[in-house]
Amino acid sequence: MLTAEDKKLIQQGWEKASSHQEDFGAEALIRMFTAYPQTKTYFPHFDLSPGSDQIRGHGKKVLNALGNAVKNLDNLSQALSELSNLHAYNLRVDPVNFKLLSQCIQVVLAAHMGKEYTPEMHAAFDKFLSAVSAVLAEKYR
């Protein structure tokens, strides 16, 4: 459950990320593919070399979707409903992978925001990304 303070920190932190969607998204994906190579199996049709057009394009889409979630913090299930269907029914991504990508996204935010990424902001993003992951995985039940 996100508190009013969490929501404020997420919105504040996202202001920084939103102007670097493509870079941050691509970096998070490369980190995921490098640290957890098993995640590459979902992208056999992609050129997975760092900086490829597909990685950048996909990174931008993922961060854009998170930006949409940030705008709908009180209504995540509805805001992410189509993506939830896509990941469960079409892509069939094993839900364990959401945690892996979430961790990589946090590393990217922390690495780029430095001191601004306070422990409180970290905790707020941790809750937010867990909530997003829960929605993306809820259709598997």
Determine if 91 is a binding residue for ligand HNI (CB under 6 A). Answer: yes
Among 9, 17, 26, 62, binds ligand HNI (CB under 6 A): 62
Rounded Cα distance, 37 and 20, in Å: 25
Among 79, 83, 124, 135, binds ligand HNI (CB under 6 A): 83
To the nearest whole angstrom, how small is the minimum distance from the Cβ of residue 43 to ligand HNI? 5
Task: For residue 110, give both structure tokens.
Answer: 């922390």
- Which alpha helices (DSSP H) does 37-95 contain, by range? 53-70, 76-79, 81-85
Determine if 9 is a binding residue for ligand HNI (CB under 6 A). Answer: no
Task: For residue 18, give both structure tokens.
Answer: 């939103």
Closest C-alpha among 122, 119, 101 to residue 10: 122
Q: Could you say which DSSP state residue 101 is in? A: H
Between 9 and 129, CB nearer to ligand HNI: 129
Rounded Cα distance, 109 and 70, in Å: 15
Between 91 and 123, CB nearer to ligand HNI: 91
To the nearest whole angstrom, how small is the minimum distance from the Cβ of residue 51 to ligand HNI? 17
Rounded Cα distance, 70 and 82, in Å: 16
Which of positions 29-58 make contact with ligand HNI (CB under 6 A)?
39, 42-43, 58
Interface residue list for ligand HNI (CB under 6 A):
39, 42-43, 58, 61-62, 65-66, 83, 86-87, 91, 93, 97-98, 101-102, 132, 136
